[in-house]
Amino acid sequence: MKTVVCPYCGFGCRLLVDPKTMKVKPHRGEPNRGKLCPKGLHATEFVLSGDRLRRPLKRTGNLLKPVSWGQAIDEIASKLLEIRELYGPDAVAFLASSKVSNEENYLLQKIARLFGTNNIDNCARLCHEASVHALKMAVGTGAQTNPYEDLGRLGVILIWGYNPAETHPVVMDYIRRAKRNGARIIVVDVRKTTSMAFADYGLITRPGTDIVLANALMHVIIHEELYNEEFVKARTTGFSEIKMAVRKYTPEYAEKVTGIPADTIKEVAREFASAGSGAVMWGMGLTQHVSGVENVLAVIDLALLLGYIGERGGLYPMRGQNNVQGAAYMGALSEFLPGYVLLTDDRFRKRVASLWGADDLPTERGLYLTELWDAIESGDVRALYIVGENPAVSEANFTRVRKALKKLDLLVVQDVFMSRTAKYAHYVLPASAFCEKDGSYMNSERRIQWSHMVCRPMGDSKPDWEILTMLGKALGLPGFDYSSVEEITAEYFRLFPELEDRSVEELKQGDGIFLPKKRLHTWEFATEDGRARLIAVEQISPWEKPDQEYPFILTTIRLISHYNTGEMTLRSPSLLKLMGEPRVLINPDDAGRLGIRDGDWVEIETRRGKIRMRAKLGNIQRGVVAVPFHFKANRLTSDALNKAGTPEFKFSAARVRKLRSGKPTPGTPP
C-alpha cells in the first residue's frame, strides 16, 4: 500500500492506495485517524477516467491538435519571451494551483518572479485571502493557529459561516468528540445546515450581517464584564476602541438586523465567554463578502477578548483545497514571497534572489487573480499561464472572464482534464494526477505531508514539476536543472529556518512536519510588539442591495459529493451515484407566495445572467435563496471585491420565478 494525500479538501486526510487495484483505505495516523469521506474513499476514480488528457495540444483555428512536448514547450517559451520583449514582464500572468504540490507551486512562483513579474496568484484569492489579511493585521501571521487535535479539549467551538459536515466531513469527527468531552457547539449560518445536527445553538442570521452579530456578542461580553481582563491587558492593544465601537450594537438592535432573538444572543455570549477555552472556526460565509476582512476581524476579536489562543484555544480559518495552504507558504500569491513575507522585505527578498542565482526580484505587488480580467480587457495583460485552476467556472460573473480569456494573445492551460477553461487555450498541457507523482502538501493545520507515487502517469502526461522544469529551462532561467522532486523539496526547505535541519526522508516517514510549529502565539504574538491587535469594525453593507426588481438575496453553497467546478467529481462513477441533483434552497413562505412547490423548476436571475434549477423548500431565512456553486452559479454572482481581492460570492440581488417545466441549464449534471 502507498500513502498519498487526498486530492480534495484542505483537511488533508491521508489515503492508503493499493497499486494493483487502485482501491483506497483510510490511513490510521494523523490527521484522519482511520476516517475518510466519500470523496477521499473514491479519490483514485477520476485518475483512471477515459477523459484524461494524454498529449500536449495546440490550437489551430477551432481545433486543438496533438503536438510533441518539445514543440509545445519551445513555442510557449518563445511566445512568452516575445510578449515580455514587446510589453514588459507584467504583460504576462501565472495562476498557480491549490491542487498541486508545494514543489510545483514553488516552481511556478519562482518562474514568475525570475521572469520579472509578481503576477502569480492562486484560488486562495477566491477563498480565504480575507482571513490571511485579517490574521496578519490582528496576530501577525496569516494561518490557522492550532492543530485539529486541540479541538477535543476545548470548552466551546464556535463555527461561523462554515459547514464542515459537507465541506470537511472528517472535521465533524473531531467536533463530535469535543462535544462528548463536554464542549458547547455554536453554529452561525444563513440556513439550517447539516453541521447544526448536534449543535447546542444553531443561529440563523441574514446574509452579510455577521459583524452586527459578532459586535452584539462582544457588547454583551464587555457590558457584563465576562471578558478575560488579564489576557486583554497583558497581551492585546485596542480594547478601549472595541469597547466604544460595540456600545451601540445592543442585542435588541442585532435582533432587528439579523432576525436572531436578543435573548438568544445574550445566552450565546455568556456560554461562549464562560467556557474557559474555545475555538473559532470559519469559512466562506465570512470571507466571500465585500466586508470579508472585517468579518474575520470581528470573530478574531471575539476569541481574543476571551484569551482563546495557544493552550486555551485557537483561530481556525478552515482551508479549502488540499494544498491551498502550501501554495501560500510557497509564495504563489501576488503580494507575498514564500512564508507570507512581504515583497518589500529587502533582506529576505535578496536572500531568495541569491538562492535562485539572480540579483533581485520584482517588488511591486502583482495583480490579484480577480483583477486579471480587467487587465486583459484593457490590454495590459496579454498572456496567461494557468496550472490546475478553472476560472471559466469558478470566478464570479464568469461571462466577463470567458470574454477576457478569448482576448488573450497566449493562454496555456496545464490540467489533468480538458476543463471548461482549457477549451479557450492556445496550448493545453496534460498533467499527471496526484497519485502519479511524488510531492509534499500542506493541510489547513500547517502540517506538511508527503504523497507517494502509486502508479505511472497516464498516457504522455507529465507531473507538473517536470513540465515547469522544462518551461524554466526553455525560458533561459537559472537553476532549473532538477532531476527529482526531492531536489525541489530540499530547496524550499532552505527558505524556512524551521526546516533547515529537517530531511526529506524524515518527511516521507512520519505523520508530517508542522511549519513553523504546532501551536502559534502561545506566549507572544507575531506582531512587532508581541501583542495582538483588537481591531474594532463597523457593519459594512453588501455591494448590491435587493430592490423591487431583484428582491431576493442570493448566496452560493457547497454540497458533500460535488467538488468545486466538478472537473474531478463528475468523473468519479461512485460519486456520481451518490450525488443529489443540485437544487436551489428557498424558504417555504417565499415559495408559497410565488406558487413554487418542492421540486418545481425555477429560474434565478441577477443583473449578470440567469440559470434554471429545481427548487428545494427548506430552512433558510426568508428572502434568501442558496444555489450550489459547482456549475453555473457564477453566471449570477457579483464580482465586487473586498480588500483582499475576494469576490462577494455570498451576496447578490436576485429574482426567482416559477417555470412550467424545465431542463437544467446546459452543462449542469442531471
Ligand X SMILES: Nc1nc2c(c(=O)[nH]1)N[C@H]1C(S)=C(S)[C@@H](COP(=O)(O)OP(=O)(O)OC[C@H]3O[C@@H](n4cnc5c(=O)[nH]c(N)nc54)[C@H](O)[C@@H]3O)O[C@H]1N2
Residue ranges that bind ligand SF4, judged by CB under 6 A: 6, 8-9, 11-13, 32, 36-37, 39-40, 168-170
Applying CB under 5 A, does 362 fall inside the site for Mo ion? no
Provide the minimum distance between the beta carbon of 524 and ligand SF4 in the complex, in angstroms, as a whole number.
32
Residues 4-43 that bind ligand X (CB under 6 A): 9
Among positions 335, 464, 486, 590, the unique one binding ligand X when judged by CB under 6 A = 464
Q: What does 202 bind: Mo ion, ligand X, ligand SF4, none (CB cut-off 5 to 8 Å by kind)?
A: none
Q: Which of 111, 123, 214, 306 binds ligand X (CB under 6 A)?
A: 123
Exactly one of 56, 161, 320, 457 binds Mo ion (CB under 5 A); that residue is 320
For residue 320, the minimal CB distance to Mo ion (Å) is 3
Which CB sits closer to ligand X, 97 or 215? 97
Q: How far is the CB of 277 from ligand SF4 (least distance, A)?
A: 25
Nearest-angstrom CA–CA distance, 393 and 389: 9
Residues in 245-274 that interact with ligand X by CB under 6 A = none
Burial 589-625 (b: 16+ CB within 10 A, else e): ebbeebebeeebbbbbbbebbebbbbbbbeebbeebb
439 binds, among Mo ion, ligand SF4, ligand X, none (CB under 5 to 8 A by kind): none
By the rule CB under 6 A, 560 interacts with ligand X: yes
For ligand X, the closer CB: 91 or 186: 186
Q: Is 554 in the site for ligand X (CB under 6 A)?
A: no
- What is the rounded distance in angstroms from the CA atom of residue 154 to the CA atom of residue 184? 9
Site stretch for Mo ion (CB under 5 A), options 89-97, 320-328, 344-352, 609-617 = 320-328
Q: Which is nearer to ligand SF4, 444 or 637 (CB)?
A: 444
d(CA 380, CA 83): 11
Q: Measure the CA–CA gap between 117 and 93, rounded to whole angstroms.
A: 8
Rounded CA-CA distance 333/76 in Å is: 23
CA of residue 78 relative to chain centroid, distance: 33
Draw the binding track, 188-217, toward ligand X (x: CB under 6 A; -: no contact): xxxx-x-----------x-xx-x-------
State the virtual CA torsion across 466, 468, 469, 474 in degrees, nearest 10. 130
Q: Can you spell out the DSSP letters for 15-70? A: EEE-TTT--EEE-SSTTTTT---HHHHTTTTGGG-TT---S-EEEETTEEEE--HH
663-670 long-range contacts (CB < 8 A, ≥24 apart) are 663/612, 664/612, 664/613, 665/611, 665/612, 665/613, 665/631, 665/632, 665/635, 667/631, 667/632, 668/582, 668/611, 668/613, 668/631, 668/632, 669/566, 669/570, 669/576, 669/579, 669/581, 669/582, 669/631, 670/581
Whole-angstrom Cα distance, residue 265 to residue 499? 45
Considering beta carbons, is residue 308 or 417 the nearer one to ligand X?
417
Closer by beta carbon to ligand X, 209 or else 228? 209
Out of ligand X, ligand SF4, Mo ion, none, what residue 434 binds, judged by CB under 5 to 8 A for its kind, is ligand X
Task: Give me the residue whose beta carbon is nearest to ligand SF4.
Answer: 40
Give percent helix, percent strand, percent coil of the chain, each to the nearest 5: 35, 20, 45
Least distance in Å: CB of 653 to ligand X? 14
Task: Report in angstroms how near the CB of residue 168 gets to ligand SF4 at its nearest.
Answer: 5
Q: Where in 194-253 is the site for Mo ion (CB under 5 A)?
A: none
Strand partners, 159: 187, 281
Instruction: Identify the H or E element spanning 466.
Output: helix 464-474
Strands 63-66 and 57-60: antiparallel
Contact status: 129 vs ligand X (CB under 6 A)? no
**What does 75 interact with, of Mo ion, ligand X, ligand SF4, none (CB < 5 to 8 A by kind)?**
none
Question: Where does 480-629 show beta strands of DSSP type E?
Answer: 513-514, 532-533, 552-557, 584-586, 601-605, 610-617, 624-628
Cβ-based nearer residue to ligand SF4, 11 or 482: 11
Interaction between residue 127 and Mo ion (CB under 5 A): yes
Closest by CA position to 138, among listed 520, 649, 517: 520
Q: How many Å apart are CA 362 and CA 117, to the nearest integer?
A: 6
Q: Which does 146 bind (CB under 5 to 8 A by kind): ligand X, ligand SF4, Mo ion, none?
A: none
Q: Out of ligand X, Mo ion, ligand SF4, none, which partner does residue 191 contact, by CB within 5 to 8 A per kind?
A: ligand X
Tally of residues, the chain: 670
φ/ψ of residue 95, rounded to 5: -115, 120
Single-letter residue type at 144: Q
Instruction: Give 11 or 227: the residue with its C-beta nearer to ligand SF4.
Output: 11
User: In this complex, which beta carbon is closest to ligand SF4, that of residue 216 or of residue 435?
Assistant: 435
Residue 283 binds which entry of ligand X, ligand SF4, Mo ion, none, with Cβ cut-offs from 5 to 8 Å by kind? ligand X
- Closer residue to ligand X, CB minimum distance, 343 or 615: 615
Binding mask 160-189 for ligand X (x = CB under 6 A): xxxx--xxx-------------------xx
d(CA 364, CA 221): 42
**C-beta of 461 vs 527, nearer to ligand X:** 461
CB 303 to ligand X: min, Å: 16
Q: Which residues contact 630 (CB under 8 A, 6 or more apart)?
A: 558, 559, 562, 563, 564, 565, 566, 582
Instruction: Count CB atoms within 10 A of the CB of residue 362.
Output: 18
Least distance (Å) from ligand SF4 to the CB of residue 123? Answer: 16
Residues binding Mo ion (CB under 5 A): 127, 320
State the residues that interact with ligand X by CB under 6 A.
Answer: 9, 97, 99-100, 123, 126-127, 160-163, 166-168, 188-191, 193, 205, 207-208, 210, 283-285, 288, 320-321, 387-391, 394, 414-417, 419, 431, 433-434, 464, 555-558, 560, 562-565, 567-568, 626, 629, 633-634, 637, 649-650
